Amino acid sequence: MQTRAIDRNLRIAVLAGGRSSEREVSLKSGENARDALQEAGFKKVDLLDPADKMFIDCIRDYDLAFLAMHGAGGEDGEIQHVLDYLGIPYTASDAFSSACGADKDVSKLIYANAGIPIAKGVTLKRDDPITVEDIVAVVGEESFVKPAVNGSSYGISLVKNPSELPCAIEKAFKYSDKVLIEQRLVGTEITVGVFGDSETLKPLPVVEICCPEQSDFYDLDVKYVDPTDIHRIPARISKEDYEQAQDLACRAHEALGCFGISRSDFIVTSSGPVILETNTIPGMTDASLFPDELRHANIEFSDACASLVEMALARAGRR
């Protein structure tokens, strides 16, 4: 991957950590991103934690923020608003697109409007007057219950019997003020990364997620194990489904207004791919899906990070 000449003396702050339930994963992503940027030749790269009381004072000393934040406060537009106010360029999507992508209820409306297949679902807020019977009438006997605004599988439950719904809903409410209940789709779970700006946007290789026999879905116990055990690239799906998934990932990226990087998750059913969600700042740990996709696309992680810096500078008019 070729990048234009970028000033390697730029002062770059890699933002990682925060106060979300994904703090530890974010810190690992940040460490990898910092190392990659240093490998790419940037001389002044530091890891900053927005949870630090001195963060606002410290961030003012940098030319650009490289975002490795996950979950609340990082992927939902909050840190982007802060950086916009301070006039500091940053990588990945802007505040509005981040907020739309982080809210699974809102993003589903955007997907549907763009003609992207979605699962049947019900959205709940606390004290909504809805019964288990009402929910089952929409999503069926088996479903997934998840916080509408959160990530990395925190608070998600697979419900195999309607009697399990109340406990699953209460669990999800611990992580969000809004809960999404979706039909359980049967098929192959895949994920598709998207990389580039409006002129260079392209999908990355499709990854099939192979859960161990003891796991019912891609939960926290599975996400951060050795990727060679659970990531299969290319995915074992038909050529038609493969190409459709890549197209839908690009369409989801554009519909949400994402920038530079995103990763969308799907279930490939007998009728084709159905989107689950889009991550606007995918994980960047050694076990994360996005770096694995880059490797299989013959893109060095360090080159990808340098390109994200270039895109961020171009968006800010500072290249």
Write the pLDDT tens digit of every residue in 127-181: 899 999 999 999 999 999 999 986 657 889 999 999 999 999 999 999 889 999 9
Place of tokens 């038909």: 238
The stretches in the chain having pLDDT less than 50 are 319
Paired residues of 274 in beta bridges: 267
Residue 218 CA to residue 189 CA, distance in Å, equals: 9
**7 φ/ψ sector (left φ>0, alpha ψ -120 to 50, else beta):** beta
Close Cβ partners of 66 (under 8 Å, ≥ 6 residues apart): 12, 13, 14, 15, 33, 37, 45, 90, 91, 305, 308, 309, 312
The residues carrying an active-site annotation are: 22, 152, 224, 263, 265, 277, 279, 283
**Of 63, 35, 57, 60, residue with least CA distance to 47:** 35
**Of 194, 192, 101, 111, residue with least CA distance to 151:** 101
Q: What was the pLDDT predicted at 319?
A: 42
Strands 11-15 and 44-48: parallel
- For 157, the token pair is 């439950």
Residue 148 CA to residue 173 CA, distance in Å, equals: 9
Q: Is the peptide bond before 282 cis (omega within 30 degrees of 0)?
A: no
**Of 246, 106, 139, 114, residue with least CA distance to 190:** 246
Q: Length of the chain in residues, anyone? A: 319
Does this model's pTM top 0.85? My answer is: yes
**Of 266, 268, 267, 308, residue with least CA distance to 284:** 308
**Of 62, 108, 109, residue with least CA distance to 86:** 62
Residue 280 CA to residue 101 CA, distance in Å, equals: 7
Contact between 143 and 174 (Cβ < 8 Å): no
- For 106, the token pair is 């809102």
